[in-house]
Amino acid sequence: MAIMIRVYGIPNCETVKKARAWLQAQDVPHTFHDFKKQGLPTDRLDAWLAALGWEALLNRRGTTWRQLDDATRAGVTDAASARALMLAKPSVIRRPVVEWGDAVTVGFDPEDWQRRL
């Protein structure tokens, strides 16, 4: 039985575009969850935080992070503060977040993804 692959992100993100194109090129069935249109499911965010840790999930290199004021950035010091920021601004989450059945990854790594299939 094939695993259900779910990709979370925003459609205009270049990394998400590459990841989705790669999955399509491999004929891998998957679903896409758009943070902008469908919102950020809090139960999934909690599962990702538990699986990956907040540091791996928080994108400190992206535009959204850079646009935050210094006080807001300095206030992100633990899982609870990172979670609150991610709920308020889902674009600060590193993308794509991919659920591979019961495993979860963040970012696009074609070699790792090939091994998972």
Does residue 19 sit within a domain? no
Domain tally, the chain: 1
Does residue 92 sit within a domain? yes
Indicate which CATH number applies to the domain containing 70.
3.40.30.10
Q: What is the pLDDT along the chain (117 residues), one digit of tens a residue?
A: 567 899 999 999 999 999 999 999 999 999 999 998 999 999 999 999 999 999 999 999 999 999 999 999 999 999 999 999 999 999 999 999 999 988 999 999 999 999 998
Does residue 73 sit within a domain? yes
Separation of alpha carbons 45 and 49, rounded Å: 6
Does residue 89 sit within a domain? yes
Does residue 58 sit within a domain? yes
- Residue numbers of the domain that contains 78: 40-102
- Please list, residue by residue across 17-52, b when 16 or more beta carbons sit within 10 angstroms of its beta carbon and e when fewer do: eebbeebeeeeeebebbebeeeebeeeebeebbebe
Does residue 14 sit within a domain? no
Residues that are catalytic: 13
pTM strictly above 0.75: yes
Does residue 47 sit within a domain? yes
Does residue 1 sit within a domain? no
